Structure formats: C-alpha cells, structure tokens
Amino acid sequence: MADSVQRPTTASGTFTIGGELTVNRLGFGAMQLTGPGVWGPPADHEEAIRVLRRTVEMGGTLIDTADAYGPFVSEDLIAEALRPYPEDLVIATKGGLTRQGPSMWQPVGRPEYLRQCVEMSLRRLRLERIDLYQLHRIDPQIPLADQMGALAEMRAEGKIGHIGLSQVSVTEIEAAREIVDVASVQNLYNLTNRDSEDVLEYCERNGIGFIPWFPLATGELATPGGVLATAAAEHGSSPAQLALAWLLHRSPVMLPIPGTSKVAHAEENAAAALIELTAAEREKLTALA
C-alpha cells in the first residue's frame, strides 16, 4: 500500500508489450508538453521537465511521444529530463506525420522518409534502440507493404524493438500483420467515443497493446449533476480520474496515456490508478456512450 501511495501508477497493473516490454498500464502522453497546436516549445520549459520526472517518480514506465510533437520538441524534452533513462522505462515514439504549422498534419510514408524519422528520433532521444516505434498514420499514397517493410528492416537492424500502428482499422491491422508483428495499436478511444471498439476487441483477442489517445474526453458528462460527476463525487475523485479508471477496468490490454503540462494534473491523473470500480459502476459508466 505504501508503494501505491508513493508510486500510484503501479496500482494500474502491468501489460507486456510484444511479449517483452512489461510496463505499468497507466502511461504518459507527451504531446501536451509542446506549444499551442502541438507546435513549438512549451510555455514553461522547467515545468515540462518537472512533469516528466514526476511521472517516472510516480511509477510511470511508459511514455508515448512522436517526432511530430513540436515537431521534435517532445522528444528533446524527454531526453533532457530523463537521461540516463531508468532500466524499466519504455519510450514509445512515432513517425510518418509531417508538420506544416500549428494543428496541421500530413502523412508521409515513403520508406526513405520513415528511415530518416527513425534515425532522427534515435538521435534526439539519445537511444541505440527505440523499444516501440509506431507508424503515426498509414500513408494512403504509398503501398502498406513498403511502409511496414521499411520498419521491419530497421527492426532487423536493431534500431527498433517492436512495431506499432496508429489510428487504424481491423482490416489494416490484419494487413500489416502479414508483413510484421504488430505489438500495439494507438487509436482514438475514451468514455464517450468508442468507434474503435472492434479494434480494441481485436487487440484483446490477439494480445496486442491498445493505447487510447485522447483518453480524457468527458465533455458534458462531467457537468454538475451528470452521471459521471455524481459517480466521481461518490468516489471523492474528479470526472477525469473516473474516466481513466473506467479505461483501466475496461480491458487488460488497455494502456491509457493521459498527458498534461502541469505537475499537479499529472499527479491527479496518476491517482486514477488507485480507484476501484464495482461491476455495477463499470456497467453504469459503460452505458454513458
């Protein structure tokens, strides 16, 4: 119990990505450490560094980032804050989305570009191997076999440990798995948006880690008097904490990655791992969508 209080993320349970990388299931998403529109440096550089260090102190062993966050800013912050990295820390990054300005994203999946993405992420993160490398988006202009083939080559070279996908359908996962082993899938999923339910169920059946991005979309459900707000008050928690707790209870392959640029908010998110939900509470929250 003492360890859970000091390191609350450990209470989220563990999942082994790709049969090799065991992480505490409640991770941290490093997108919000950048400027507005996921563009440029953070408003408070030192606070961003403190957030990353506090995340690890609280038991966080999975940090998700991408070269497109900033671009490049998030990866640089992670290296500055956390090197030398703890042995149990898994840094997952992504490549294949280019940036033209704030809130602008364009997929580029040419094999030579993906190779450059990996090489530059290795340099920025100051790693010899990226434990989990995710294709940020499938480029519809490039054959999937070429995109996954490039990542497979770099895995064979030891530059990538495991390969993941982002914002994909079951059909796309199956097509990718004909070329490479897929260790994780990162799709939009939260208490109110479950369009990827079929993808989550596929991941459960196949032992693939499911990383829900935008996990804290509580919206109108969190308004005073609403079901989520009422349930949160009964637990003495915030609606966001309860939404995270629901995700952790939803599936053993679920790896939520809430992000923030403030230490206090990071601490609040981590405490969600301590929340226990009864079967009746889970059903009531599940019915909210």
Q: Which residues does the annotation mark as catalytic?
A: 69
Q: How far apart are CA 107 and CA 109, in angstroms?
A: 6
Paired residues of 21 in beta bridges: 17
Q: How far apart are CA 30 and CA 74, in angstroms?
A: 6
Please say whether the beta carbons of 101 and 37 come within 8 A: yes
- Helices then strands, counting H and E runs in the chain, come out as 11, 11
Give the length of the chain: 289
Q: Rounded to 5 degrees, what are φ and ψ at 129?
A: -145, 135
Q: Among 51, 105, 44, 117, which Cα is nearest to 78's? A: 51
Please say whether the beta carbons of 43 and 35 come within 8 A: yes
Q: Among 172, 276, 191, which Cα is nearest to 240's? A: 191
Positive or negative torsion for Cα 171, 177, 180, 183: positive
Q: Rounded to 5 degrees, what are φ and ψ at 186?
A: -120, 105
Q: How far apart are CA 15 and CA 159, in angstroms?
A: 23
For residue 85, what is the DSSP state? P
